[in-house]
Amino acid sequence: MSIWVVIAGAATALLVGGPLGALAASANLGSRSADDPARERSSLARVRDGGLARLRAGTQERRRVAFTIAAIALAAKMARADGDASAAEFATFQRLFQVDAPETDNARRFYDLAKKSMAGFESYAEQVATLLGDGSPMLEDLLDALWLIAETDGFHPGEIDYLDQVAARLGFDAAATARIRARHTGPAQDDPWAILGVRPGADAAALRTAYHALVRQYHPDRHLAEGVPAEFIRVTESRMAVINAAYARVTGKSG
């Protein structure tokens, strides 16, 4: 079943709980609670009770749903960071998450409600970090998706600051945040040694060790097993293709 069909279901709010569940409840009820503070507070209260306990149970389906709602919510909040919720950015979101035409309205409704919601991006980021857990590869997938969306129409300083703050809320330390940022904005994009995380001129053994560690960390199958929606897997496949190309470039052979 498509992830978009799942998150459009009325049970999503109960499945996820917390601010993400409140957003789902607002969208699925077709309400305008994000424009009505009293109604939104009521919606938040209904799904928050017991929400963290449900989150910590962390089933794969719950992770999959929360990951997708968090991606929508955090992308929408980012649109406010640069003051321009561009159609191009939403189109990139549609491409990354393979939103088919019949499901576009559901995704757009979530996106628009999240933009106007009282809940801050901090609450969305902290909730999804609680659910996915420290060290989950899904956290980096989520952050990468946001960077790819921000790239669409050029980086705005407000977006970069926002993404660094999201990274901190997701549990990334300063070094990891800088590494991910450089992957999208810095010379590491064109440096195969930096992509592999080794010093230039490293020997074959060091290259193999680094490459196989990255394969274990970023292989799409691992991310699917963790709960990354199949609709999103093209991003992990693209990242793996970059790693494979870097290894081939410095060794003259594929993995």
CATH number at residue 115: 1.10.3680
DSSP string, 8-66: TSTTHHHHH-HHHHHHHHHHHTT--GGG-HHHHHHHHHHHHTTHHHHHHH--HHHHHHH
Answer yes or no: do 25 and 134 share one domain: yes
- The most distant pair of C-alpha atoms in the chain lies apart, rounded to whole Å, by 63
Q: Tell me which of 130, 162, 185 is where a domain ends.
A: 185
The span from the CA of 83 to the CA of 38, in Å, is 26
Burial tier of 200 (Cβ tally within 10 Å: 0-12, 13-18, 19+): exposed
Answer yes or no: do 120 and 197 share one domain: no
CA angle 15-123-154, nearest 5°? 110
Amino acid at 241: A
The owner of tokens 């995704």 is 107
The span from the CA of 9 to the CA of 2, in Å, is 11
CB distance 128 to 166 below 8 Å: no
CB distance 68 to 229 below 8 Å: yes
Answer yes or no: do 122 and 205 share one domain: no
Dihedral sign, Cα of residue 187, residue 193, residue 197, residue 202: negative
pLDDT in tens, the chain (255 residues): 466 666 655 455 555 678 888 877 776 655 444 445 554 444 444 444 444 444 444 477 778 888 888 988 899 899 877 666 667 788 888 888 777 777 787 778 778 888 887 778 999 999 999 988 888 888 999 999 899 888 887 888 889 999 999 999 999 999 888 888 877 886 656 788 888 889 999 999 999 999 999 999 888 888 888 877 777 777 788 788 888 988 999 998 766
The span from the CA of 83 to the CA of 255, in Å, is 43
Answer yes or no: do 165 and 178 share one domain: yes
CB distance 193 to 199 below 8 Å: yes
Q: What is the pLDDT of residue 232?
A: 77
Q: What is the pLDDT of residue 240?
A: 86
Instruction: Give 71's Cβ-side CA count (13 Å radius).
Output: 35
Answer yes or no: do 149 and 52 share one domain: yes
Answer yes or no: do 181 and 204 share one domain: no
Chain centroid to Cα 44, Å, comes to 22
Q: What is the pLDDT of residue 82?
A: 66
Answer yes or no: do 89 and 19 share one domain: yes
- The number of domains in the chain is 2
DSSP symbol at 230: G
Dihedral sign, Cα of residue 160, residue 243, residue 221, residue 232: positive
Domain containing residue 79: 3-185
Q: Please state, as a whole number, how many other Cβ atoms lie within 10 Å of the Cβ of residue 194.
A: 18
Answer yes or no: do 170 and 245 share one domain: no
CATH number of the structural domain spanning residue 252: 1.10.287.110
Q: Tell me which of 185, 200, 223 is where a domain ends.
A: 185
Q: Please state, as a whole number, how many other Cβ atoms lie within 10 Å of the Cβ of residue 224.
A: 16
Answer yes or no: do 197 and 102 share one domain: no
Q: What is the pLDDT of residue 254?
A: 63
Q: Tell me which of 185, 200, 232 is where a domain ends.
A: 185
